[in-house]
Amino acid sequence: MPNMRLIVTNLHDSSQVTATSEALPAEYTKRSDRSRPWRSTDTSQQVITATLPRTYFIDSLVLYRHNLSSVSQIRLELLNGSDVIYDTGGVSVSGLVPLGQFRFGIDPWGATSTAALPVKQTPFWFTLMAVTGYRVTLIDPVNADGYLEVGRLRAATGVAGFQRASAHRGPLAAHRGRWPRPPPAD
């Protein structure tokens, strides 16, 4: 398992995006501007649907800068045409702090793993699949803000990091970590 994954090219930026309700447009999930998130009109179940311009291979989707509470659920469905090829079902955004990590006398009773995070994100990592779009269903009827909000969606093929240099099998492997010397000057 890699120590880190990078999303280099965000395919969500080229998609057509719609949402169940829009107090602020769903197109804002394609922007990194903090002051412009997508926002629903209320806390009812919301569905964000993205349609890609063509078929792409993806293995990751991240909801970044959202306001979902610790009791909320997210459902991710990957689409190939109109067929659902992957469905997470309802996934909890945050769970209770496990007993081995719960600090008695310090953590409040019922502490959750995302309650104190200043910027919340929810990543989904899955096997590489060819998709033409995806649906994200947000369920958080008790959200204290009175609306659901997502600042940014990222969908891509994640690049795994922290491989040992000796494990590299690319075109420079024959150099064993040494760069080729420049040609001699004339």
Please say if the pLDDT value at position 167 is more than 80: no
Please say if the pLDDT value at position 130 is more than 90: yes
112, 120 in Cβ contact below 8 A?
no
So what's the pLDDT on residue 95? Answer: 63
Domains and CATH numbers, the chain: 5-175 (2.60.120.260)
179 or 119: which leads in pLDDT: 119
For residue 83 the two structure tokens come to 């067929």
Q: Please give the share of the chain, as a percent, with pLDDT higher than 90.
A: 52
Residue whose C-alpha is closest to residue 62's, from 158, 155, 161: 155
DSSP-based three-state secondary structure for 24: strand
> CA 104, 106, 108: angle at the middle one, nearest 5?
85
The Cβ of residue 150 has, within 10 Å, a number of other Cβ atoms equal to 26
Which helix (DSSP H) or strand (DSSP E) does residue 130 occupy?
strand 121-139
So what's the pLDDT on residue 161? Answer: 54
So what's the pLDDT on residue 106? Answer: 74
131, 56 in Cβ contact below 8 A?
yes
Give 142's contacts (C-beta < 8 A, 6+ positions apart).
43, 69, 71
Please say if the pLDDT value at position 177 is more than 50: no
Residue 44: pLDDT band (50, 70, 90) is very high
Please say if the pLDDT value at position 105 is more than 80: no
